[in-house]
Amino acid sequence: MKLLRYGAKGSEKPGLLDADGNVRDLSGIVADISGDALTPEGLAKLQAIDPASLPLVEGKPQGGLRVGPCVGQVGKFICIGLNYADHAEESGLPVPPEPVVFNKWTSAIVGPDDDVEIPRGSKKTDWEVELGVVIGKPGRYIAEKDALSHVAGYCVVNDVSEREFQIERSGTWDKGKGCDTFGPIGPWLVTADEVTDPQNLKLWLEVDGKRYQDGTTATMVFTVEKIVSYLSQFMSLQPGDIISTGTPPGVGMGQKPEPIYLKPGQVMTLGIEGLGAQRQKVVAAQ
């Protein structure tokens, strides 16, 4: 099942993508793609519905019909750094012995095709295609063997990053990771039953048609199971929480002989096998 949120910014409605690629309106069934709707019980209720019985929404998603962030009312947006050994190498950093954890503020969340803003004063805004994990079943102190049962589904995340803010300005990474528009998610939340193996998905990202990232989740240092279990030792995980699991090599900071960073007017396109694609125009923050 592919769940989504469609419509104008700030007033998105819940929807379902049917087998023909059309959007079906779920607003008569659930208030949003969030919270209780993402629990095992909530998803089972949605699974039982015949999509043809739902109102058809006019327009093609990502083709005239705006698609918003695929999860609403996100409580936590947790990220894992340096989770691909080859990305750690290009960053000049050792592979961490435990997951590196940081946050993106929920105000960074935008739709998959919304503009990405280069913050005022930024010189080093960068891209990162990542597998997003959306929590469904709440829990804490989750055993690794049980971790995937807590996952509602998966989505594409662009972990946009300002490297000077992140690395050179002292303190935590968070201030270079959570700027407004730095968290495009979607287009769909693909439920876990449709993802046979989250450790065998191809990821890619292009800027102005040039491919920079071309990787696979098979090279993650810490698996989805490990990450969910690990995070649950330090915090409770709740329905709608998003975990962004790290990026493969090919980010702008790692380009040779010189790093390459985003400029206004450029276009990022990115996607993950089976989870859809995103397209963002880069603009200067006003």
Single-letter residue type at 261: Y
Single-letter residue type at 68: G
**What pLDDT does residue 202 have?**
98
Single-letter residue type at 262: L
Residue 139 lies inside a defined structural domain of this protein: yes
* 149-188 pLDDT, tens digit each: 999 999 999 999 999 999 888 878 899 999 999 999 999 9
> In the structure, what pLDDT confidence band is assigned to residue 266 with cuts at 50, 70 and 90?
very high
Structural domain including 115 reads 69-284
CATH number of the domain that residue 142 is part of: 3.90.850.10
Residue 60 lies inside a defined structural domain of this protein: no
Gap between the Cα atoms of 101 and 213, Å rounded = 22
pLDDT at 140 over 90: yes
* 66-101 pLDDT, tens digit each: 999 999 999 999 999 999 987 878 878 788 899 999
**What pLDDT does residue 97 have?**
94
Domain count, the chain: 1
Residue 18 lies inside a defined structural domain of this protein: no
User: In the Cβ-directed half-sphere of 96, how many Cα atoms lie within 13 Å?
Assistant: 14
**What pLDDT does residue 56 have?**
98
pTM score, two decimals? 0.96
